[in-house]
Amino acid sequence: MQEYWELYMKSLEGKPASIQFNAGISMEIEDMGYTYPIIAFVKAKLKEPKDNGLLGENEEPEILFMEDKLEASMIKFRIGKYVGRVISDGYVTFLYYVQFTYNWPDFIEFALNEHEGYEITNGHSEDSEWNYYKNLLYPSAREWQLIQNHKVCNNLIEQGDSLRIARAIEHKIFMPSVEKKEALIQALIILGFKMNDEIENEEGIKGLDFYRLDKPFYHDIDPLTLSLIDIAEEHDAQYDGWETSVVKT
């Protein structure tokens, strides 16, 4: 199993949630479901959450220590895999997929013997389809785009870019069906985008390469790319991200 972790924000029941999950396991779900068919959780009430219900700086070291101790216990008892963590509404929930549960009480006792000051619940249930991973932890297409946006923004900042200066930002959309291509082009032109040459990916799917002057700052690029996802979907196409050059002040 590959270890490739992502962290992002989403809304759960109308409240902000911090989601950390092992994205590397996503390609192995079908096989993992047979080996680890049970979803298990450990849920702790935060002592000093922020006003928005997320983890505060003062408490973070203790929660990370709890996370490490749970992982050490999971390895010690060899019962499953740690797949993600949800922090929302004043609680942190650690999620695991396990093979069996006969030694679950031993796992809990070993992992949490140093955290008696926390109000903690735990449990497990059948989930051979890995629905909790797919529907709670794994991001939607829109959430994935925000993750990628912030990676690009962070990379630009590392190269000395302030993100505050407008410059040409190039986007790509691929069209499994080209029936609505002309309508899609017109929709983009109306929004002020200029078209480059048509493109084609490795699978031979045709696409559009287009650009507009915009700021790549987080609060600018996020709504822009989400709107392009919507436009692409309306025309039976798929948005494929953006790129731009570094602009130093």
- Give the per-residue pLDDT at 178: 85
Q: What gap in Å lies between CA 41 and CA 14, rounded to an integer?
A: 22
Contacts of 100-105 spanning 24+ positions with Cβ under 8 A:
100/38, 101/38, 101/40, 103/77, 103/79, 104/40, 104/79
Average pLDDT over residues 73-79: 92
E strand residue ranges, 46-156: 80-88, 91-98, 120-126
- Give the per-residue pLDDT at 32: 86
Measured between alpha carbons, how far apart are the two ends of the chain, in Å?
43
Tens digits of residue pLDDT in 235-247: 999 999 999 999 9
Enumerate the CATH 3.30.70.970 domain ranges in the chain, comma separated: 141-244
Average pLDDT over residues 19-45: 92
In the CATH scheme, what architecture does the domain 5-137 have?
A: 2-Layer Sandwich (3.30)
Q: What gap in Å lies between CA 137 and CA 18, rounded to an integer?
A: 10
Residue 80 has pLDDT above 80, yes or no: yes
- Which CATH fold would you assign to the domain 141-244? Alpha-Beta Plaits (3.30.70)
- Give the per-residue pLDDT at 29: 85
All residues at 6 or more sequence positions from 207 whose CB lies less than 8 Å from its CB, including other chains: 172, 173, 174, 175, 198, 199, 200, 201, 237, 240
The pLDDT > 90 percentage for the chain reads 89
- Give the per-residue pLDDT at 174: 97
What would the two tokens of residue 201 be? Answer: 């990916």
Confidence of residue 1 (pLDDT cuts 50, 70, 90): low
| Cα dist from 105 to 24, 76, 79, 200, whole Å | 28, 13, 12, 55
Confidence of residue 31 (pLDDT cuts 50, 70, 90): confident
- Do the Cβ atoms of 92 and 18 come closer than 8 Å? no
Average pLDDT over residues 153-175: 96
pTM of the model: 0.85
Tens digits of residue pLDDT in 210-233: 999 999 999 999 999 999 999 999
Confidence of residue 108 (pLDDT cuts 50, 70, 90): very high
What are the two backbone dihedrals, phi and then psi, of residue 82, each rounded to the nearest 5 degrees? -80, 125
All residues at 6 or more sequence positions from 237 whose CB lies less than 8 Å from its CB, including other chains: 173, 174, 175, 176, 177, 180, 184, 207
Confidence of residue 12 (pLDDT cuts 50, 70, 90): very high
Helices 181-190 and 218-234, axial angle in degrees (round to 10): 150
